[in-house]
Amino acid sequence: MAIQIVIRPASEEHEVAFLAGDLRQFTAARVRIGRDPGCECALSAPDLPEEAAVLTFRPLDGAWMARPASGVEVLLNQAPLPETGAELHSGDELRCGDWKFRFHKDSRPVGYARSADALSLLAKVLIALILIVEIGMVAWLPRVVDSARMWEKQAARQRVAQTLDLLRDRNTQAKPHSPSEVAARKFFGDRLNALARYLRYYSDTLSRDQVRAVSEDLKTYADVLRLLNDGTPFRETTPLDADAAVKAVLAK
């Protein structure tokens, strides 16, 4: 039932329009506006009647009514206020003489329900957990990536060493069938042994690209040794027929 009335001069000057108004709050069911000190909303202004208007509360529907005093001209939102009165709404403005009275219903603040408080607390907890997880991911993920790269490099080196040992064993245990195969196996055996010595001393300092290059070389060696095992690396040469060449020259 409480109401608020903001009192301002009716001047149209910008300086007055931006000044803070005289805010008054009332809890009575009847509020009289005027110059008379006995009015609930008394204003010491010579141009204001002793009683300008009366505001009354209607308990049946909770509405406030405004009625001008007898013989006093009062404006409600720039229109004359009827003598029988009119219903007021928050934001309505009464004007009498050089004064404006802005009417507001003083609504009580509505408290939050317990369920709303619980949801608000739960939302805050979830937001905090999300932030903690994100911060943890930012700090933890780079370490995981670096660790994965390190283990990937170690695994690549291990595969290279195992492949190299396998190729050396197969080449050593093979039984050549021709002098050409003997020479080829010796050549590739020397290359594989040299690569093994190099990796023994410099394996820890090789980059990922260098390990990948060594792996590609081992694939080439494996292909050549597989051809040697199949007996197909050397093509048979066609014997030279010297007599046919001489006969062709003499025929010309």
Confidence of residue 184 (pLDDT cuts 50, 70, 90): confident
The predicted-structure confidence for 202-230, as pLDDT tens digits, reads as follows 887 888 788 888 888 888 888 888 888 87
pLDDT at 239 over 70: no
Contacts of 231 (CB under 8 A, 6+ apart): 177, 181
Residue 31, amino acid = V
Over residues 99-107, mean pLDDT = 86
pLDDT at 180 over 90: no
In this prediction the pTM is 0.42
CATH fold group of domain 3-105: Tumour Suppressor Smad4 (2.60.200)
Q: What are phi and psi of 123, to 5 degrees?
A: -65, -40
Q: What are phi and psi of 215, to 5 degrees?
A: -65, -40
pLDDT score, position 152: 76
The predicted-structure confidence for 24-49, as pLDDT tens digits, reads as follows 899 889 999 998 999 999 988 888 89
